[in-house]
A and B are shown apart, each in its own frame.
Chain A
């Protein structure tokens, strides 16, 4: 265990907490992982502080759990997996280090939230490729490192996007910069010659950033990250297409992305759309849900600097050819909610309360990657599981996000429940574990294994686990970084 005096010396007394109430906040989240109270919480101010705590952890074999986003947490990855842990709370590191319009890149510290970064990039004529309605306390780096799907798949060339470069303190205590940021020279020296930290690959032939993404803090602690940004459109025209036939909407979205005609593009079922857009709870929720089609595809057509109206109209004509072939119609509202309102909402973090908590106060997400051909069967499996568990199928939210320019999709089931009702809670907990098992049998790929099911997921691929363990041994030889998570 690291001595308190040493921590106070590094961080200052105000940034080290042993208070029971504070520790309790970090000891559990809204997932079903076991409650484990950390020993203390430290709040670093910079990369130097982070390197010191990692070195101290190695000297004393103390587990470290990095946390950047504020509460509530949902996935168990920030709850200690073992006793004696120190929480490294990065939420106070809030510098927006760089926004560069010409190179379409931004660079931030780990505590910067979407709400803080969006106005800064917009001021420069840029925008972020956002996840769908992150909670207000969600940090940009937290989201990017988790490979959270983004709502503009056309701009997701690679699954690691929009991540560009990171500076990381590996579990070994060594500092490392990935991609173009690696060097030569310091970051200041790179800026002086006109360089920015944009190209993600390297140094050398490895793509080091891919090792840090998806690791849930088990490889090291990121002290800043840069990310690619997109140009802010000068004209946007949003549409929805409703249908009871999901396959039709999947085919439509495939073509829209393949032909690069749309920016935002995702599908929600009526439960989720109502959960997001109901204004007066609880009375309007059911009415809105009933007024919505079973499935709604949302997309935006955009114009930029040159002849934006012509670009938009050319794309709309192209899209109309496809919708007519498929026998569906693009419209400007669903259930009385205009598409302009929808666009405004999805381009920002969620309002308060967080949209997943509005209906019943808690939500368990089950998400995986798949391809369109398998999606119908997987939704069928999920419906079977929830029905058999006695959970109302109509209460289950579904979010389908095409990823990586149409090479696959993220499918997410949102199980809303009342956390104060033990029977509802237990039902969701039990059905979640069963659902993961049955969905895997139906070909679902749980690329981001969290919480109670992580072991079941990752053990399926023993060969990959064997390689990952070799890598872990190199970058975190004493296993001080978030032990108990992923497969470590």
Chain B
């Protein structure tokens, strides 16, 4: 699998001997596959040169940035983009930031907050790349999915540099679409399989107003941080409701009233994991607040641009909650807990405590799009978790699901997962069975089709049920990657 000395030297000439490696003792630290080499380019020119060489020698490559996920066939070249970690521009007036792939969300957000701005922090967490496509806690006001990218600089699988939108025509980053039909249609960075082949070397992200402080008054030490005081015109609460229908009515009205900075449809289990620092504490708190809540619920952050705006939003919230027979969770009204949740949801994006801590692994079915429709499906998927809980295969979260509104409730995301011990083969198989069964039910009952499926399922079930999108995508990949140097997409998470 190793590169010949001559070929290795060609790549080394591009990046320097310090930035290429084919040492079999070091490369497995990335992933458990046999890489041909790991190369660390420093800029677009080096990426382009490497991609050209890959085409010349018909060598396959995949780029990663912060590296949450990836599929890496044996013998592939790994492009580790960690040296491309610059914030190129923060344009305050026109509300966008331009970043390289290894800029993480936490550092961009810290810079933005000093300027009264914020952006969409993806649920993968603030240690992940800022230019990711995806959803996160603040989607209600910062949008999500593919809707936050503006112009993108893209090294194609053949090694051409394409600059989308205004960047290609006038060297500005504010628009990613045109001239004419938008190549942003195929420029997407998401979780593999199926992402755009090639390498995104810079991207402009849309920014949003941040009404909070330039920096949170954080006190405490790891793992227990909180705020010394709740910032002015800011409030966090958790409300539970007697039924899913009532919860949905409240969520709908909150979206229409445009009062929420964040609305996260946590269940009690997720509140518990976010406000606790270890599994034992989490179990105890979950037990306690499960008795306190009256049913499904959501966590909400209200943030006012002024004291008047804040008072108005609180008043509307109170009315909506009251109309839906909602009840505030007293534990979250405690300023210390409220502060922890503000930090968790705005600065950290919560995910690690929710997903990995209790079981060590999780399998998830995320659904983007129409919130009320996916809630309907998720109720059944939650019930289907109960036998797994009873058998002790997964962590007891009450069979719950979670989700949130996007763009003031115009769109939404719902997700349901099972936390389990990855070393327990029986548990792992049971969770995978649940995942498969619930995805099949979603397809059969016409709720949605889970495209994060196996190649075989996409080929025979998912693709044909979705306008045969897989066939179009395949043609498209063949057209832009004629030498097949980017197998299965170009992971960039």
Contacts and interface: CB of A to CB of B under 8 A. Distances in A.
Contacts of A443: 170-172
A204 B469 contact: yes
A195 B370 CA distance: 7
In the complex, which of the residues A103, A443, A445 has the most CB atoms of chain B within 10 Å of its own CB atom? A445
A315 to B, nearest CB: 8
B184 to A, nearest CB: 5
A471 B476 contact: yes
A109 to B, nearest CB: 19
A372 B206 CA distance: 16
Interface string B465-486: 1111110110110011000000
B145 A175 contact: no
B179 A458 contact: yes
A447 B370 contact: no
B148 to A, nearest CB: 8
Contact of B308 (A318, A448, A468): A318
A445 B451 contact: no
A219 B165 CA distance: 19
Interface stretch (B106-114, B238-246, B314-322): B314-322
A147 B165 CA distance: 13
Contacts of B276: none
Contact of A486 (B161, B180, B316): B180
Given A184-B449, A307-B315, A408-B94, A214 B443 contact: no
Nearest to B446: A185
B185 A208 contact: yes
A226 to B, nearest CB: 12
Contact of B174 (A176, A407, A460, A487): A407
A306 B258 CA distance: 11
A204 B476 CA distance: 13
Interface stretch (A68-76, A155-163, A352-360, A426-434): A155-163
Contact of A203 (B258, B316, B449): B449
Contacts of A369: 166, 174-175, 178
B274 interface: no
A317 B306 CA distance: 10
Contacts of A486: 179-181
A211 to B, nearest CB: 4
B170 to A, nearest CB: 5
Contacts of B447: 193, 195
B470 A204 contact: yes
B60 interface: no
Given A104-B410, A185-B465, A314 B370 contact: no
A260 interface: yes
A473 B146 CA distance: 25
A307 B312 contact: yes
B381 to A, nearest CB: 15
Given A260-B209, A307-B316, A447-B165, A407 B94 contact: yes
A228 interface: yes
A216 B194 contact: no
A38 interface: no
A177 interface: yes
B198 to A, nearest CB: 10
Contact of B372 (A102, A207, A213): A102
Contact of B373 (A195, A211, A305, A310): A195
A178 B185 CA distance: 11
A209 B185 contact: yes
B163 interface: yes
A205 B180 contact: no
In the complex, which of the residues B145, B164, B179, B369 has the most CB atoms of chain A within 10 Å of its own CB atom? B179
A219 B256 CA distance: 36
A126 to B, nearest CB: 11
B186 interface: yes
Interface in A154-186: 157-160, 174-178, 180, 182-185
B228 interface: no
A242 B471 CA distance: 55
Nearest to B443: A184
B372 A194 contact: yes
B383 to A, nearest CB: 17
Nearest to B319: A306
A244 to B, nearest CB: 21
Contacts of B467: 175-178, 182-183, 203
A458 B180 contact: yes
A397 interface: no
A183 B95 contact: no
B78 interface: no
Contacts of B88: none
A218 B180 CA distance: 10
B177 A198 contact: no
Contact of A196 (B161, B177, B370): B370
Contacts of A305: 253, 256-257
A184 B150 CA distance: 30
B93 A372 contact: yes
Given A318-B305, A369-B174, A464-B162, A311 B168 contact: no
A85 interface: no
B177 A214 contact: yes
Contacts of A406: 94-95
Contacts of A147: 177-178
B368 interface: yes
A346 interface: no
Contacts of B160: 463, 466
A208 B183 CA distance: 10
A325 interface: no
Nearest to A159: B177
Nearest to B116: A258
A202 B175 contact: no
A473 B370 CA distance: 33
B320 to A, nearest CB: 7
B288 interface: no
A102 B372 CA distance: 10
A371 B376 CA distance: 43
Nearest to B447: A193
A207 B258 contact: no
Contacts of A475: 472
A199 B369 contact: yes
Contact of A198 (B168, B411, B451): B411
Interface string B266-284: 0000000000000000000
Contacts of B147: 157-158, 201
Nearest to A448: B178
B94 A372 contact: yes
Interface in A309-323: 310-311, 313-315, 317-318, 321
Interface string B343-387: 000000000000000000000000011101100100000000000
B252 interface: yes
Given A198-B411, A210-B181, 7 more contacts: A184-B465, A195-B446, A201-B145, A445-B172, A447-B165, A461-B168, A464-B168
5 contacts: A159-B177, A192-B446, A202-B368, A213-B177, A314-B312
